[in-house]
Each structure stands twice: as structure tokens, then as C-alpha cells.
Amino acid sequence: EAGVAQSPRYKIIEKRQSVAFWCNPISGHATLYWYQQILGQGPKLLIQFQNNGVVDDSQLPKDRFSAERLKGVDSTLKIQPAKLEDSAVYLCASSRQGANEAFFGQGTRLTVV
Amino acid sequence: RKEVEQDPGPFNVPEGATVAFNCTYSNSASQSFFWYRQDCRKEPKLLMSVYSSGNEDGRFTAQLNRASQYISLLIRDSKLSDSATYLCVVNRAEGFKTIFGAGTRLFVKA
């Protein structure tokens, strides 16, 4: 079974620029999550999708972050404009509906300079 | 106060040692609990679920104390390959609606 795919693996941008991350979840997984992990901290949930609907985006900084999952499969997370404090690893995860385990992708390491 | 708190460590132990990590959570409505392992620059992976009755998987034992709102992980006979960050995860509701702790770093040395 293929795992969660993310791209790019690394991205370096200047502050105020825009960036987008892509995630392809495990086939058949209805639930998709985007997490932000800052160095030395645990992952923080940014947004959770159930199929193509948003379940929880309470911690998503909506003035600069946006995410979509139009067809209930792939998802993109965008930051516009980026700030220095957005430097982190962005992890995508997926799970079967109602399941208690999520599987993570390898993440995208973003550096904002 | 953070919803899930862990001792960040690091714990430095020799091979063969027994080491225990604790994690406390503040939301009494939390329903399910897990330990995830995260190797350096890698993604988190499920180590084990934690049940009220306690559960064991080889050298790893997890315990849950709902009354005191803490979770523990015990690693016996530590191996060099156990070196990693161990993340305590608390699930607020059905499915996977989670809060991660900041993690406890473990270094096992020869």
C-alpha cells in the first residue's frame, strides 16, 4: 500500500512570498489533515478534511493560510504571504473515516528567510 | 497550561536500561490515547495505542490513569534503535481529532 505522498520535500522562500504544498493521501482514506511542526514542538493541527469538507480549521491562520481538497482526494496548503515564523515542517496525514490511527507523509520543510 | 504536557528530556540511558515517560492531559473528556515515535527529520509513526487496562507490545508497556489524567510509556531493555522522540497523543473525540504533546527525546548509548 502506497503511503501519504507530499511535495516538495524542501522549500526556501523569502518573507512575503507565496508557497504551496501538495498532498496525496492513502487511497480510500476519507480524512486528511495538515499539521505544522515547529522545531522542538509536537505537530499542531492546522486543518482537517472529511472527504472535501472542512471538519476543523480552528487553528488555521486564515489571513494567510488556505487549504483545499476539491475532489476529496488530493489537497493543497497555501501560505500567502509567508512570515519568518512560518518556518516549520508541514505534515500531511490521512486516516480512514472514524479510525483512531493516522498515517503521516514525510513532510515539507519550509524555510522563510 | 498546555492540553498535553510531556517532560521534554532528553533522557540519556545506556543500552539495556529501563526508561519511563509520563504525559499528562487536561481535558477530562479525552477519549483515546496513543504513543507515536518520531525519528530525527522523519514523520511521526504510531508506536502503540493506550488502553485503560494497560497494554504491552514486546519491550514496550503503556498505561493510562484516567483518574489522574496521565499516560505512561515504559521501555525495557533499551536498544540503540530506540533513540527517538516519543510523542504523547490525546484524541478528543471519535476518529482522529488529536492533540500532540511536544515530545520526549530519548538517547540510548552503547
Q: Do A95 and B44 touch (CB under 8 A)?
A: no
Rounded to a whole number of angstroms, the distance from the CA of B22 to the nearest CA of chain A is 15
Distance CA B20, CA A30 (A): 35
Rounded to a whole number of angstroms, the distance from the CA of B30 to the nearest CA of chain A is 13
Predicted local confidence at residue B96, as pLDDT: 56
Q: Do A42 and B101 touch (CB under 8 A)?
A: yes
Nearest to B43 among A48, A55, A105 (CB): A105
A45: Cβ contacts below 8 Å, ≥ 6 apart? A33, A34, A35, A56, A59, B98, B99
The counts of H helices and E strands in chain A are 0, 11
pLDDT tens series, chain A, 113 aa = 689 999 999 999 999 999 999 999 999 999 999 999 999 899 999 999 998 899 889 899 999 999 999 888 999 999 999 999 999 999 999 998 877 788 999 999 999 99
**pLDDT score of B109 more than 70:** yes
Q: Do B49 and A102 touch (CB under 8 A)?
A: no
Rounded to a whole number of angstroms, the distance from the CA of A18 to the nearest CA of chain B is 24
